[in-house]
Amino acid sequence: GQQLNQSPQSMFIQEGEDVSMNCTSSSIFNTWLWYKQDPGEGPVLLIALYKAGELTSNGRLTAQFGITRKDSFLNISASIPSDVGIYFCAGLVDHNTDKLIFGTGTRLQVFP
Amino acid sequence: NAGVTQTPKFRVLKTGQSMTLLCAQDMNHEYMYWYRQDPGMGLRLIHYSVGEGTTAKGEVPDGYNVSRLKKQNFLLGLESAAPSQTSVYFCASSFRSWTRETQYFGPGTRLLVL
């Protein structure tokens, strides 16, 4: 079956540092999504990407849709303590049912 | 507008017991989903529904049943709970086929099966 691999699995960084994480797939996706899950909460959509090569920003977050359509990247600039959480990538599997497949997640810890 | 709500927030079951998890959304969304989240495995789709009265299997459907009798509600049932079903369960919804509004998640139900 389809799998999305995220790396790194976890990151421990200092406040103010930039963060990079990526997601790779064995299959092609036409839409990539990035979600953030705060501790004890459900995931919340951060950024959606619709075209290969697309670069989209949401505040300090920037995500890119890889040219091969098999990967995507998320960058966070100047991290702050509230960036703590788990970041998930997701690929849109089925346009007709909105089914997603999620990556394994990158856990981010930010130290002041 | 409460979004997606889940009941209960936490539950402890003994092996073999049954229970129903309730998901409700007030956004008039057509599509609803049930996921389970286990450490290191991300979110895996259990069952989903593309409209009232319809359901379909996801990636890990065994041991679960669902019903969508009303558009705003999606129920997940465990007929005979097993320790392997200890997990955090999330419900999600989206408006309809890819309207760039996907997916909205509830706060989760933490289930422990002893």
* Mean pLDDT on B5-32: 96
Using 50, 70 and 90 to split pLDDT, how confident is the model at B100?
low
Q: What sections of chain A are H helices per DSSP?
A: none
Question: Over 80: is that where the pLDDT of A95 sits?
Answer: no
How far apart are alpha carbons A42 and B108 in whole angstroms?
Answer: 6
pLDDT at B99: 54
A92 and chain B: CB distance < 8 Å anywhere?
yes
Interface test with B, best of A23, A88, A99 (most B CBs within 10 A): A99
Mean pLDDT for the stretch of residues A97-104: 89
pLDDT digits (tens, 9 = 90+) for B44-88: 999 999 999 999 999 999 999 999 999 999 999 999 999 999 999
Does residue B27 have a pLDDT over 60?
A: yes
Q: Chain A contacts of B102, Cβ < 8 Å?
A: 33, 45, 92, 98, 100
Q: How far is it, in rounded angstroms, from Cα B113 to Cα B77?
A: 14
Here the tokens at position B90 are: 């999330």
Are A88 and B96 an interchain contact pair (Cβ–Cβ within 8 Å)? no
Using CA coordinates, name the residue in chain A closest to B43: A102
- pLDDT of B47 reads 97
CB A89 within 8 A of CB A40: no
- The confidence score (pLDDT) of residue A6 equals 95
